[in-house]
Structures are given as structure tokens and as C-alpha cells.
Amino acid sequence: MSTRNLAKEQPESFAFTADHEARIKGIIAKYPKGYQASAVIPMLDLAQRQEGWVTKPAIDLIAERLGMPVIRVLEVATFYTMFNLHPMGKCHIQVCTSLSCWLRGSNDVVRAFKDKLGVSFGETTSDGAFTVSEVECAGACVNAPVVAVGDEYYEDLNYETMSELIDTLKLGKPPAPGSAVGRQGAEPEGQRSSLTTDPTQPIPKQDLAASMKKFEEAQAGARKPEENA
């Protein structure tokens, strides 16, 4: 695992917004007295959402609020790669290049970034609008290749659809998250061959009766060898 260090240049101070302060009270209240340190991850997340990255002053403030040594908060912030330790662009795009995404064409997705934005992994565009990061498995292998933009996932991407997504992000009008080819959940590409009916609807009585009949026939067939024995 690569070393994760804090940025050399740091702001002088950090303070949570009033909205985040209200949320923090609710977060800390979830834990029994003496166990407030359990709130360290959600508080780091709030700090990152506010600033775009986790700063040293934010770490110091969180340690003070939770009664923790600063080194303990620092250990959490540097261990979890979801926490950005350096300034990021306004739009942070995380590209999965793990095995499933690579087999499904993540190299083409990466090429789209280089062609459209002129940046590669760990780099930020000169205008500070985009930062591109490489992640190790986004956990959406079934719809690979996938990228994360903030909290949203864009799936089933290729060079063309990734290029289009970048264009819409530049305009501040990203499309709805999900599959670029219209897949729902983990369904296969193309026409369905199974589970063709809506699973949320009741099973028609005639279909239920037919299914029960097939089940009873199968059960009867399974019992015959035992009876003959």
C-alpha cells in the first residue's frame, strides 16, 4: 500500500458549518457516553464534503471534539483511501481499473479522460474543475466499467459514453446515474431470458397452480425409487 501523507500546504483553520454542526450532534448522540470516538469516520466525511478534502486543522478539531489524540484521527484519515488528503478539483471522478472493469474496457474510459481533460490519475485540470483518481474496485463489477462522481455511479461505460459524461459534467448538467446502456440492477445485457415478469406483482392464480402441479409431480418422481426399494 502506498504512503498517504497530508498535503504540505494547509489552511490556517477549519470550522464546521452550522448545518454540519447540527448533524454532528445527532451523530455523536448515537453512541454511548465514553464512546464518542466512534463518530470519527462520519465527522471526517463531513469535513471532506465541506472542503473537498481532509485538512490538518479539520483533523485537529475532530480530535478535540471527540476527546481523541490527534494521532488516532490521523491514523483513520490516512488509512481509508476514501479520504482525500490533498486539495481536489470541484468535480472528483474516481475510475475503477480493477479486474472486472479492465476486462470490460476501463482502458478506453481512461483514454477518454486523457483526450477530453488532458489529465491522468492523481492529476487536476489547470482550471481546478476536475480531479481524476484511480480506485481499486468500486464494488459494481456486474455493470463494469464504472466511475464514481461524488456519491453517484455511472456504469457500463465506454470511450464514447465517458466522453459524453465529461461534456455534461463540464456544463453542470450530468445525466441520471446508473447504466449507460439502460440496464436495471444486475440484469444481463440484451433481452431477458428469465425472470421476464415483474417480481413485485402477485403471481397469477393459474401460474401458481401450474407451478404447484409441477412441484408435486417432481416430488412424486423423487419418492418412487424409495418406494421400489
Contact between 121 and 133 under an 8 Å Cβ cutoff? The reply is: yes
Output the average pLDDT for the chain.
Answer: 88
Is the whole-model pTM more than 0.75? Answer: no
- What are the pLDDT digits (tens) for 24-42? 999 999 999 889 999 999 9
> What is 18-79's CATH topology?
Arc Repressor Mutant, subunit A (1.10.10)
Find the mean pLDDT for residues 174-180.
89
Q: Which residue shows C-alpha cell 470490460?
A: 104
Q: Report how far residue 86's alpha carbon sits from residue 70's, in angstroms, rounded to the nearest whole number.
A: 18
Find the mean pLDDT for residues 1-20.
87
Domain boundaries, the chain: 18-79, 91-179
Q: Which amino acid is at 220?
A: A
Class of domain 91-179: alpha beta
Tell me the pairing of strands 91-96 and 130-135: parallel
Q: Report how far residue 80's alpha carbon sits from residue 43's, in angstroms, rounded to the nearest whole number.
A: 14
Find the mean pLDDT for residues 202-220.
77
